[in-house]
Each structure stands twice: as C-alpha cells, then as structure tokens.
C-alpha cells in the first residue's frame, strides 16, 4: 500500500510543479498592445503558443476598438 501513496504523491507534485511553470499571457489593453511594451512582452514569452495567444488577443483588442470608435456627424438639414 505504501508504494501507491508514494507514486500518487509524486504524480501530484509533478502536476503542481508543471502547472506553476506555465507563463501567464498578459491581458490585452492599450498599454500592452502597443509600442515597445508589446515587443517586450513578446520577447519575454518563451513558448510559441503563448506568443501566438498574446498576438491573437491584441489583434482582437484592436479590432474591437476599431468597431466601437465612432465620430458623431450631424445630419444635413431637412428639405421638405
């Protein structure tokens, strides 16, 4: 019975260590997705999948901003 407990403990320890080793991709916002900060974050991410995820998030952030920005234009006077 004791070897099963040791194996289970080793598996749990390995899973917890590997879960903590994953990098967290920063949330997209104005600061993170523009200029030199964007380049620094991309350089700091070691895994290609994390870099792709960050690029995808920033593209979505910029696309959403583009769709939500608008400028009020006054309607022309009526000619009835």
> pLDDT tens, 27-71?
999 999 999 999 999 999 999 999 999 999 999 999 999 888 888
Quickly state the pLDDT bin for 73 (edges 50, 70, 90). confident
pTM of the model: 0.59
Tell me how far apart the alpha carbons of residues 62 and 24 are, in angstroms, rounded to a whole number.
21
Tell me how far apart the alpha carbons of residues 20 and 46 are, in angstroms, rounded to a whole number.
15
Residue boundaries of the structural domains of the chain: 24-69
Q: What is the pLDDT of residue 19?
A: 47
DSSP string, 13-50: HHHHHHHHHSPPPPPP-TTTTSHHHHHHHHHH--SHHH
Both tokens of residue 9? 């403990």
């Amino acid at each position: 019975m004791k070897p099963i407990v040791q194996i289970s403990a080793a598996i749990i320890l390995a899973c917890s260590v590997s879960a903590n080793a994953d990098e967290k991709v920063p949330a997209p916002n104005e600061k993170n997705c523009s200029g030199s900060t964007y380049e620094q974050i991309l350089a700091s991410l070691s895994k290609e999948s994390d870099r792709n995820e960050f690029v995808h998030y920033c593209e979505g952030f910029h696309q959403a901003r583009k769709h939500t920005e608008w400028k009020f234009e006054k309607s022309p006077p009526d000619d009835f």
